[in-house]
Structure 1
């Protein structure tokens, strides 16, 4: 039904059908959430936030399927799940905890940990455990990078680098 990333008319039509009558289109709506810069993405994000508990399982299941596109998963976390009310986000805790512990996953783990910590959804001890594990993994990446590029780094120590 949705023709392209600018087809706001079709998105509004699907939403106007109303829930639960529009359930057969919800997967299609989620298919158009990959890039927050697409004109239709914001409207879709808002709609899924408004559905809350009624569709939280579908949103999490969809995000879990997108493991090959972690930027997409990150967008779902930051643009839908982060805006759920406290009641709805409770259902996300187990999945967010797993994501938070997967260091190196295109910032998904940072976004998941941020939600868990800022809303105090898991204990400080659990947050600390996840953070320490992630820091260990990041340090291993740094060590491997230094081992690989050691000669080059020492040959050009004064080169400029900006983040």
Structure 2
């Protein structure tokens, strides 16, 4: 099976995501970055479903999430916080605490405009 063939083709391609959900989660690991591209907007149907799909990977998502957090795409930061990060186990959130604190307490102006700081603050509250 060519796992890359199941990467969504567009923001409405829930069928591909549903097919991915039937597979062993370990098969999905090589396409994590490709899947995360379909979470760039919290309003896209793929965003919520990919968040659910990737959530069981927990700690393995951290390097990928950090790339998003250090990108210039503030809409994507907001989206990934709302649709995936806030649903991760506390143990994973604890490992990302420094990243979340930076977003919450030292946001850029654009992060503030996209409410990234507010979402990061809410997630930090889940830890304590």
What secondary structure is seen at the aligned counterpart in 2 of 1:40?
Answer: helix
TM-score by length of 1: 0.64
From 80, 85, 92, the equivalent of 1:88 is 92
Instruction: State the alpha-carbon separation in 2 of the partners of residues 76 and 14 from structure 1.
Output: 19
Task: Return the structure number with greater helix share.
Answer: 2
Residue 68 of structure 2 is matched in structure 1 by: 63
The number of aligned residues is 118
Q: Shift of residue 16 of structure 1?
A: 2.6
- Structure 1 runs (4+) greater than 4 angstroms displaced: none
Q: 1:83 to 1:63 in 2, by over 3 A?
A: same
**5+ residue gaps, structure 2:** none
Q: How large is the Cα RMSD of the aligned pairs?
A: 1.8
Q: Shift of residue 118 of structure 1?
A: 4.2
Which has the higher relative contact order, 1 or 2, with Cα contacts under 8 A spaced 6 or more apart? 2
Structure number with larger C-alpha Rg:
1
TM-score by length of 2: 0.79
Q: Deviations over 1:40-73 (max 9, x none)?
A: 22110112222222x23234233224x3220110
Q: Shift of residue 30 of structure 1?
A: 0.3
